Amino acid sequence: MSLERIKELTKLLNQYGYEYYVLDNPTISDQEYDRLMQELMALEEKYPEYLSPSSPTQRVGGVVLDAFKKITHTKSMLSLGNVFSKEELINFDQRIQESLQKPVEYACELKIDGLAVSLVYKLGELDYGATRGDGTTGEDITHNVKTVKSIPLTIPYKGDLEVRGEIFMPKKSFNELNELRKKDGVELFANPRNAAAGSVRQLDSAIAAQRKLDAFLYMVPDALDYDCITHYDSLQWIASLGFKTNPHTRVCQTIEEVWAYIEEYSAKRSELPYEIDGIVIKVNDIELQNQLGYTVKVPKWATAYKFPAEEVITKLKDIVFTVGRTGQITPNAVLEPVRVAGSLVQRASLHNEDNVVSKDIRIGDYVVVRKAGDVIPEVVRPVIERRDGSEKKFEMTKVCPKCGEPVSREEDQAAYFCHNPHCDSKKIEKIIHFVSRDAMNIDGLGEKIVEQFYNQGFIKNIEEIYYLKNHVNEIIELDGFGQKSMDNLIEAIEKSKQNSLEKLLFGLGIRGVGAKMAEVLAARFKTMEALMEAKYVELININDVGETICEAILDYFREDENKALIRQLKELGLNMTYLKETNFRDDTPFSNKTVVVTGTLEKYNRNEIKELLKQLGANVTNSISKKTDYLVCGKDAGSKLEKAEKIGVQVITEEEFERMVSE
């Protein structure tokens, strides 16, 4: 009887929660809901053997982690490209129509200002939730995801499913939270996005539970696998499973309709109960999305229109210079503190001499400041009518602000550079870049610690990071460092030796080689040695490698100092190989074959069989075409099976697949 009552209460409370948090249409009073919840909690305490992970009592928090686990996404969580005007939006539409040679319809949705999340369900239950991270690897935040009451813990679909969306803090929750923090004398959150991100990354889920977070789900990776023909179809499908989707999403037939939608919600932005920072525009037809494909960084079939940045006026008190890892000298505005788009701004990059001179920005000016893309502070222009004659004209520094050596402007470039190889600032910035998240990702070596270790002589260059274990006894004598923190740091340093080649390649700081370009180069050449020996013609023929980047790569590997660094890192045990394809084979029945998977399999989930096929040398795609060689088919197959049979694609069962693999 107790088990039956627990099941009954669980079902009732999950339904009532769905009605309240997703449909915004409660059917019982708060008092009645609380009474049923108390009854369920009492029964679960009395009969703990009946406690289910999907019980609504598991949303109250209380799980405390020591640290976040890393999770590798099965499919990269890419960022979007941006447009900032109607003209740029029309250009986006023209590129798509020229590529497809046909008009398309767009799904338009509000760009929620929160934290991207991936939710993975297995057998109908939430398996884990993860942050976007660097797009390839995120952090496991399942304990906090469970506290978001609009995210279902169970769904009626019993196969594997990944859904992506945005966790955010409603304006009401944000205001209530800051009121509490004000009373407690704690620093206020700058904006709802920062508050949401800080809440989701709490090790103690009880804190996240108190913050009243919410979520909209807006994407199903591999939606075609679930017979969703359009993006809008996929949203309707996940809504039917109990996920909260944004009710303002709209399908537009033309780019003019898209612009009308943008104008409508630009006006309505302040009325919404949550923050948005733009509009996302996606090609609605998923087959067409696949045809358009991706650049190195972003999908070609989607973009985000970003709202014009909020502009404020403040005083520019000084212009100071900083030195980057490549030696580039950057002028920076020191501002009277001012709040811009929800956060306090005290400094802003002025980029280079040409920018300052062309805008005639002077020390002492009142200037217009905004956040480019609502993120990076920038000085837009001086307020000339407020000048009183005390302002000082800008002069570019002639020497490095750190080492005092002369700086020079390179031909065809706007920037000045310090060429002193012994400049401390350059060395510190190179080390900071090397250990950063997108590079070697060494937890515990933040910017301030790197600078402290450099100044105290523990790390003077990149290779000395891997000798830091020899200084543990000296470091733990310093304030703020204990044995446990050093053990964790040394473990992170040793772990970084196993990183795939693209992480190391990005960490080296070759001019023009960002994280995505490093991935492209590593995937193409597979080993550091092969890349070091690459010729100009090999590099220039790679997509997205232009002449400037090509010359920068060749120049880097010509330098004896750089070759010596790589040789030393190899001797220290750092991996010099691209690891993501090392197990791929070219001698199987699936080598160089195009394969599609559909239906429910007994021995594999969808991601497992796709990964196995890739290791067997197959090109795994989501849609059937005349180029498809095999359709691996499980139970309850739908339209893909019909299409495969119609156009003559060879269909193989799970048993036939295993036999082919074993043979």
What tokens were used for 163?
A: 């859904």
With contact defined as beta carbons under 8 Å apart, do 152 and 241 qualify? Answer: yes
With contact defined as beta carbons under 8 Å apart, do 445 and 490 qualify? Answer: no
**Cα dist. 431→127, 322, 440, 445, 486 in Å?**
37, 16, 10, 9, 18
Residues contacting residue 398 through CB under 8 Å, at least 6 positions apart: 406, 407
Residues contacting residue 151 through CB under 8 Å, at least 6 positions apart: 119, 126, 129, 145, 215, 243, 244
Local structure of 509: helix, strand or coil:
coil
HEC sequence for 437-448: CCCCCCCCCCHH
Residues contacting residue 73 through CB under 8 Å, at least 6 positions apart: 118, 130, 133, 135, 136, 137, 138
Closest CA to 224 of 285, 146, 137: 285
The DSSP symbol for 615 reads H
d(CA 464, CA 451): 14
Say which amino acid occupies 37: M
* Beta bridge mates, 328: 417
Local structure of 640: helix, strand or coil:
helix
With contact defined as beta carbons under 8 Å apart, do 129 and 140 qualify? Answer: yes
**Cα dist. 75→72, 138, 438 in Å?**
9, 12, 17
- Catalytically active residues are 111
d(CA 454, CA 413): 31
d(CA 596, CA 645): 13
d(CA 210, CA 557): 53
With contact defined as beta carbons under 8 Å apart, do 400 and 420 qualify? Answer: yes
